[in-house]
Structure 1
């Protein structure tokens, strides 16, 4: 089990954490040589590109052979969090108590990095109940799922949550961007940040897929016993899709923000499940698409 990202003591004591940009996590980016062409001509220089590799997620109960649940394209790093968060937001596990271990298959010192995570559960896992073994691309975790009904996860509307001042919301993108260490090197991946009601960054995960970054955050919170995230704000880079809102709803997040636009399904899910959905959060203004009562424009 990975080291806890968040404290069990109190929300105010949660540390700022993110993927390590140093040599201890060499798989999140790769060095390449590029040819830069401009008015002055062509020249070669070294550059960094974000890593994208498949991750197979398997799950099994006591005495069971682990069942392959999904393959997702992701940026390596926080893979156990991603696997556990995925299982939770897809409705395949209900609590941290069900997770015994989540680790790379055949993890041994000196071996090459593994792109398979096995999640051992404390109760039987019915793999036959899965309607599909789907392939989730980095751009859209919903891709490959047979129908909208198979995507939908039944969950209750989120709790009331805090009322946030406008000034807090407009400060979030700059804080998120300043903490994106891998983006600084590559310029090519998304981030999901978890904030408290005062706008303090509690946790950050980066990934080539927005949905993966959210699953990593949710997985870490689940492993640390911090769900539901009823007093938190989720900010994602890029747009908000149906799946982002579904995952936020399952985790109990009352306010979801993005620097770009939402989709129609995202707005529908937010409206139905009581989530305040904010889009185009840039500069001094933003759009509130649903449940605007959680935003105070006067402060």
Structure 2
């Protein structure tokens, strides 16, 4: 079994009776990000594309501004009870070292603070203000992105338990799709890919996510200069406020030909 999926025993109950059988599940393991050997952050993620994840996370948090800010990123030695390397600790050497404590991450900076403070935090840290009214995206193209994203969710097909995020061109071509148990991790992975590929700011791309649009997903899109964010499910109120404040086109309940546009509808060609 791969590190992405695992088998666990289960009791299946249905109208036809019960049966005991193994079920395929998405793997969830911690990834500790270290710098100079000291712990910077820990996130629960599905193993895979960890280098992209770290790049995207550190960029979204304003710790790095380019791929060149990471000199090296390598797994630390560490074994489980069977003597196997866990590959769950990445030590990052930064070109410009940062103090590891205390860290005020954007993803949790709103805890205990008002919504205005959270919006101000993003406004002061983003490097890529979004251009007004561009790119122009055909609504018919946007409507196809959920199916395009879903068709590339190979691990979801096996487990039914993963979120996905994808970066698409305005013509609907998929550039990068990543899956993870955490929706924010999936977004960090595609943003990290874009950073390493020299595609930031992503002013000509569309970010599509498989679930809801939370504040932190809008924050990551804004930090990366992504002008359009589409979500299959609902946004939160603070996500809409941040999108409107930043000039990001936020689309929720994107299912088939129907959708709700919550901000900057001028980027969509009806």
Is TM > 0.5 for Structure 1 vs Structure 2?
Answer: yes
- DSSP 3-state at the match of 1:27: coil
Verify the 8 A CA contact 2:176 2:193 in the aligned structure 1: no
Q: CA deviation at 1:143?
A: 8.9
Q: Is 1:116–2:89 an aligned residue pair?
A: yes
1:10 is aligned to: none
Report the CA distance between 1:80 and its aligned residue: 1.5
Tell me, yes or no, if structure 1 residue 223 matches structure 2 residue 196: yes
TM-superposition CA deviations, 1:48-85 (whole Å, max 9, x none): 011111111112xxxxx333211111111111111121
Kept in 2, the 8 Å contact 1:234–1:253? The answer is yes
Distance 1:107 1:158, change over 3 A: farther
Give the conservation status (yes or no) of the 8 Å contact 1:50–1:208. Answer: yes
Match for residue 96 of structure 1 among 67, 81, 91: 67
In structure 1, the partner of 2:7 is 31
The equivalent of 1:274 in structure 2 is 247
Are the structure 2 counterparts of residues 92 and 210 from structure 1 closer, same or farther at C-alpha, using a change threshold of 3 Å? same
Contact map agreement 2:40 2:101 (CA 8 A) in 1:
no
Structure 2 partner of 1:192: 165
SS at match of 2:65: coil
Q: CA deviation at 1:44?
A: 2.1
User: Could you give the per-residue CA deviations for residues 188-213 of structure 1, whole angstroms, max 9, x where no partner exists?
Assistant: 11000110010111110000011000
RMSD of Structure 2 on Structure 1 (CA): 2.2
Residue aligning to 1:158 = 130
CA distance in 1, matches of 2:56, 2:240: 23
Gaps of 5+ in 1: 1-22, 60-64, 135-140
> 3-state DSSP class of the match of 1:117?
strand
Q: Any conservation in 2 of the 1:157–1:272 contact (CA below 8 Å)?
A: no
C-alpha separation in 2, matches of 1:144 and 1:107: 34
Q: 2:22 aligns with which of 40, 46, 53?
A: 46
Partner secondary structure for residue 3 of structure 2: helix
Q: CA deviation at 1:27?
A: 1.1
**Farther off after superposition, 177-186 or 116-125:** 116-125
Tell me the secondary structure at the aligned position of residue 68 of structure 2: helix
8 Å contact 1:107–1:114 — kept in the other structure?
yes
SS at match of 1:260: coil
Q: How far apart, CA to CA, are the structure 1 residues paired with 2:111 and 2:219? A: 14
How many residue pairs get matched?
A: 260
- TM-score of the aligned structures, taking structure 1 as reference length: 0.81
Instruction: Please identify, of 114-123 and 225-234, the stretch whose mean Cα deviation from structure 2 is larger.
Output: 114-123
